[in-house]
A and B are shown apart, each in its own frame.
Chain A
Amino acid sequence: MAGSSKNEKLIGGILPESKAKDMLYKMVLTRTFEENAEEMYALGKVHGTMHLSIGQEAIAAGASPALKKSDYLLNTHRGHGHFLMWGGDLNRMMAEFMGKEAGYCRGRGGSMHIADVESNNLGAQGIVAGNLPISVGVGLSIRARKTDQVVLTLFGDGAANEGAFHESLNMAAIWSLPVIYLCENNQYAMSMAFEKAFRIEQVSERAAAYGMTGLTIDGNDVFAVYKAVMEAAERARKGSGPTLIEAITYRYRGHSKSDRQLYRTREEVKEWMEKDPILRFAKAIEVKDAELKEIQARAKEDIRKAVEFAENSPEPDVSTILEGIYA
């Protein structure tokens, strides 16, 4: 499971060391990517908007490595980290954000719809909870084809209040579909604070409503995420049905670039930043400051190269404007 050599040291009892370094790097890469994206946006290089996951990197870091390459991903709008974790190529990602032909979606999707169906990455999502009914279909497809695939389905606390959430989880439960419902509860749905949108204390309580396994974990603890996802995947693969995992985290930046964040205090944000997940993970896997800095420098350089690649990449030809609508 989880592709490690038999005698490798398992950090925290579960995480192979070789993987851990890579995960840290990707967390830093994600952070650097997001910060750079912020900068590019401010410089007007990115059209439209972006949804940054700065502060939530631990969930992305813990989730994908717990799964197989053959598994499916249904991402959210705040999914740059997950995309990278899933093996996304930095250059092509950057090209897509800049709307270039060489981007994953030929510049037609942008940040909100970026996908790589070839690697079973079924795309980011522009409609909150829009990917939930789709997870049912993917689950049915896996069942029909009798494979041991699972579908990691990401969404936020806000999606848990959409009608589609109810329909989808219910259907996944009644048919025991191999879905991992991973809720990234960053405690705000845009400006709506969790305690104002829910009468219950935890989203995972709703699992019981559908008769599926549910649990709440510390989303900023990479190990916790890794363990929970791995267990959910096992459960799914042996036919025991879906799991609802609620990972508690915090979003440093606003919902999107146009968010003025009037709904929370600076103090609150600062408090969470002191519990930064990257620093926490680096410490847990015994990576020193110097090494961390070197990782950060490497990440920065990789980002710089990606930006250069994307900027030099050609725009889509207007004559191809109608391509890709129909098969």
Chain B
Amino acid sequence: MAKEIIMPKFGFTQEESEILEWLKQEGDSVEKGDPIAVVSTDKISMEVEAPENGILGGIRYKAGDVVPVTNIIAFVLQPGEQAPQAGAPPAAVKVAKVAEAEAPKAGKTVEQVEQAAGVSVSPVAQRLAADKQVDLNLVQGSGRDGQITRKDVEDYLAAQIAGGKLKATPAARRVAQEKQIDLRTLRGSGPGGRIQAADVAAARPAAQAGQATLSGLRILKEIPLIGMRRTIAQNMQRSMQEAPHMFLEVDVEMDAAEGLRRLANENKVAGTPKISVTAVIVKAVAQALKQNPIVNSQFSSEKLILYSDINVGVATALDNGLIVPVIHNADTKDLVQISREVNDLAQRARENKLQPDDLSNGTFTISNLGMFGIDRFTAIINPPQSAILAVGKMNRVFVPDEHDQPVLRNVIAFSLSADHRVMDGSQAAKFLTDLKNNLLNLGEIVK
């Protein structure tokens, strides 16, 4: 019997995985437990194992394909067996039918669209569908409980193009093809939103994906946009497009905190990890989040969700990208524990051994470029969070003391990027000043 190999679901909210690499090829012998493919979800990579002994066959996807979880990706065959044919397309479209009543017309408000469809639609998908005049009844949802995600709407649009149903004149299509412009991204000026040649001619290729290369330049290297790079690109673009960022800065004298930290490390119990600056910052941030719940939140089109769990992510640079392992419930942990976790996560990150749960459910992110010599910077909010803290390097700076005399202090510049849909300047400011106070008075928040 041909044994199906399905794309596994590694994380609780995982919708899909990208196949990074096939370790075995069609026709290879495999034994149960052999890794046969490497797949990635968001940013970590996992191995798919052969479920039993046999021959690998009927491979349905290639490296670079993004596959919904639980789809069949290949089979383990017994000698002489044929792989079953690909059956009906994965998960027949089943957007909950509008109960007999009229299908929601494109152009209805987003709320009406969601109600009429009867399935939940992610906010991003709703906006995209309204933008592109997509009838959500026609879109297959692949998210949790059949939720329609942004990708689903994008897939639908792509299928429409493939079916030739995008409204564009032959001339427009020709020019779009010549200029390598994606018709999906254009607004049509013709009747009924039809894309005319002029619309394509006016489109700036630079804004489009897959633009024509600059001509006449020698290429050093081409890096395919897959895996982590692609995820980061999509997330960061989305973040900047959707969240109106405001930026606030505060410089903090770290001498008191540093003094406490050094003291604690000198007197630490053997076998326990040293307390790191990062741990100090995490703890102070966690406390500030507790004091300012509005910052520990998530935006959605009809409500702001404020979380009581305070899960602080610490952005960690890798060779090929960026990863944000999370210290869950950081407000409840002491500095030693936080230090331990930070170290462990950092190490496992470098060794590519992070689990999906290490990365999940962060409510706030800290990004530190101090080790790269950066004095101060602003970071991009990590969706779906509402804010991110950018930490610069500790610099020796002259500041005026209480007598207005210059004294040397250790100062770190902190910059908060905050989502203005969620909070206003004063709220963000309070968070930052609370953070500053927490650091200046570290002894009071750690016992």
Direct contact, A vs B (beta carbon within 8 Å): no
Q: Which residues of A contact B (CB under 8 A)?
A: none
> Which B residues are within 8 Å of any A CB, using their own CB?
none
